[in-house]
Copies of this chain bind each other. A is one copy, B any other.
Amino acid sequence: MIAKTPPPPYYAVIFSNIRTQVDEGYGIMAEEMVELAEKQPGYLGHESVRDGLGITVSYWESLEAIRNWKMVAEHRLAQRLGREKWYQAYKTRICLVERDYGFENGGIND
């Protein structure tokens, strides 16, 4: 569930969002967007959690990969419907991951 990403530098898109109470197609579209993102050149992985606030972080090789994904037709439609129906508020942050470290099952991976 924690994305396996390569050594930095790489990019992260932090998408923090609050849903409206409108469901109309949201679940299907969200699944389709994950499947489509996974096929994009430069996609490295993603992590997603919702509990009131939703946070989805997707990881990418480059700014160009992020730009290309933002322009994919189905994704543009999803973005428009998101603003019109599904999201009460959101914030997208484009970030350069400069350093990372982790820990799993008793071992530190620095």
Contact = CB atoms under 8 A, between A and B. Distances in A.
Interface of A: 1-3, 5, 8, 12, 14, 16-18, 47-55, 57, 83, 87-105, 108
A66 to B, nearest CB: 10
* A-side interface mostly: strand
Give the number of times this chain occurs in the complex, counting copies: 2
Given A2-B90, A91-B101, A95-B98, 9 more contacts: A3-B91, A12-B14, A12-B93, A16-B57, A55-B55, A88-B104, A89-B103, A89-B105, A96-B98
Q: Which 8 A-B pairs have the closest CB atoms?
A: A95-B95, A91-B102, A89-B104, A94-B99, A93-B100, A49-B49, A1-B53, A96-B96
